[in-house]
């Protein structure tokens, strides 16, 4: 969409990011008006999971955004360096993205991203930041005057491809694609042909996750993933807040090393603060084998407690024998006490007199 520069405010000496948008976005008066209106709305959207828009202006015919400067890496950079992510880390990232979407979709009118993808998600030491909100709406309005697609083909919802009505559920579909890619290590739909890729997005069911990616993955996450990737918008979750509620039971976090993110506390609220925490190793399901070389980690998360409560209880032979002996001793003592008390309280009958 343009170029981004690191800059410094002259008075405050604050580091900022200056995004200079493509020249075609500012060629018409209508385009400039739409851009400035949209950026004005974003300037009032203050949420820890959305990059802050500090100012918007026009300089020598070019539209410029001043954004908060972020230290970190994009999700695309992390996926390129590490490949598939642990499901706990993927769930935490998706939950924070959903928190940002909740705040944006809750505006009046709702702010729809329209181009959610790993390149637009910045991972920082304090949490996930969703970038480039609002630009999709400007591009949508200018579609007839631009040659670029509104959104990235690999992350476009079926209704976007069909030029249908687009609402907040288009962002949820894109979030499902991103979550699938984090867990599987690759997008669900891939093709060198753009036409075939668009056809797959509109008609093909998402392929099952690879077997090795499903090791330890809770069924609830798989069910949510299937709902997010539903072709019909009506079959997806009703809101990003519903996505947060579905992911929250599976978020496990520990305040340890840096370099990852956790589920933000109160993620559904606009004033929620991101937790500066990291992701621990994933728990596992008892019905799935552990990967070779995977360390055994104490499972203290919600899933472990549920599995432990619903699974059969097993005790060792030594404990069983000890329990039986203890039970026998308790029974013997109780019997002795009862009999002693009964003997002490029983009336004494004098012997019958005899006649000679």
- Which residues participate in catalysis according to the annotation? 115
Sort 104 into a burial class: Cβ within 10 Å, 0-12 / 13-18 / 19+: buried
Does residue 221 share a domain with residue 177?
yes
Single out the residue in 47, 68, 89 at which a domain terminates: 68
What domain count does the chain have? 2
Does residue 230 share a domain with residue 103?
yes
Please report whether residue 319 resides in a domain: no
Please report whether residue 145 resides in a domain: yes
**Do the beta carbons of residue 277 and residue 262 sit within 8 Å?**
yes
Which of residues 147 and 15 earns the better pLDDT score? 15
194 backbone dihedrals φ, ψ, rounded to 5° = -55, -35
Please report whether residue 347 resides in a domain: no
pLDDT exceeds 90 at position 260: no
Please report whether residue 186 resides in a domain: yes
Q: What is the pTM of this model?
A: 0.68
Does residue 202 share a domain with residue 130?
yes
Does residue 168 share a domain with residue 20?
no
Q: Supply the range of the domain harboring residue 184.
A: 73-287+298-310
Q: What is the mean pLDDT of residues 20-46?
A: 76
Q: What is the pLDDT of residue 42?
A: 77
| Pure H helices in the chain | 29-43, 75-82, 87-105, 135-141, 158-161, 168-184, 194-203, 219-228, 240-247, 302-310, 317-345
Please report whether residue 338 resides in a domain: no
Does residue 134 share a domain with residue 211?
yes
Q: What is the CATH number of the domain that holds 220?
A: 1.10.510.10
Q: What is the CATH number of the domain that holds 46?
A: 3.30.200.20
Instruction: Give residue for tokens 């002693």.
Output: 340
Please report whether residue 351 resides in a domain: no
Does residue 198 share a domain with residue 117?
yes
Q: Which of 135-149, 154-168, 245-259 has the highest mean pLDDT?
A: 154-168
């Amino acid at each position: 969409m343009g170029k981004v520069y690191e800059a410094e405010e002259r008075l405050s000496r604050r580091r900022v990011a200056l995004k200079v948008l493509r020249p075609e976005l500012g060629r018409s008066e209508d385009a400039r008006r739409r851009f400035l209106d949209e950026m004005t709305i974003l300037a009032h959207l203050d949420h820890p999971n959305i990059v802050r828009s500090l100012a918007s202006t026009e300089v020598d015919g070019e539209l410029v955004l001043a954004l908060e400067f972020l230290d970190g890496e994009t999700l695309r950079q992390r996926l390129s360096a590490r490949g598939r992510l642990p499901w706990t880390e993927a769930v935490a990232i998706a939950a924070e993205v959903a928190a940002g979407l909740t705040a944006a979709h809750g505006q009046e009118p709702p702010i729809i991203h329209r181009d959610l993808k790993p390149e637009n998600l910045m991972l920082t030491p304090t949490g996930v930041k969703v970038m480039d909100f609002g630009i999709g709406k400007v591009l949508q309005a200018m579609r007839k005057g631009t040659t670029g697609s509104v959104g990235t083909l690999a992350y476009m919802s079926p209704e976007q491809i069909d030029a249908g009505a687009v609402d907040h559920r288009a962002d949820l579909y894109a979030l499902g694609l991103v979550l699938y890619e984090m867990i599987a290590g690759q997008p669900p739909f891939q093709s060198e042909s753009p036409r075939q890729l668009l056809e797959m997005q509109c008609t093909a069911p998402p392929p099952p996750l690879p077997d090795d990616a499903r090791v330890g993955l809770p069924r609830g996450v798989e069910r949510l993933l299937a709902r997010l990737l539903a072709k019909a918008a009506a079959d997806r979750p009703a809101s990003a807040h519903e996505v947060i509620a579905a992911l929250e039971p599976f978020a496990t976090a520990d305040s340890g090393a840096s370099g990852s993110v956790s589920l933000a506390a109160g993620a559904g609220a606009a004033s929620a603060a991101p937790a500066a925490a990291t992701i621990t190793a994933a728990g596992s399901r008892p019905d799935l084998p552990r990967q070779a070389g995977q360390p055994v980690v104490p499972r203290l998360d919600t899933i472990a407690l549920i599995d432990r409560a619903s699974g059969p209880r097993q005790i060792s032979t030594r404990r069983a024998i000890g329990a039986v002996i203890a039970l026998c001793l308790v029974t013997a003592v109780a019997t002795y006490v009862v009999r002693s008390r009964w003997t002490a309280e029983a009336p004494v009958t004098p012997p019958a007199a005899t006649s000679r």
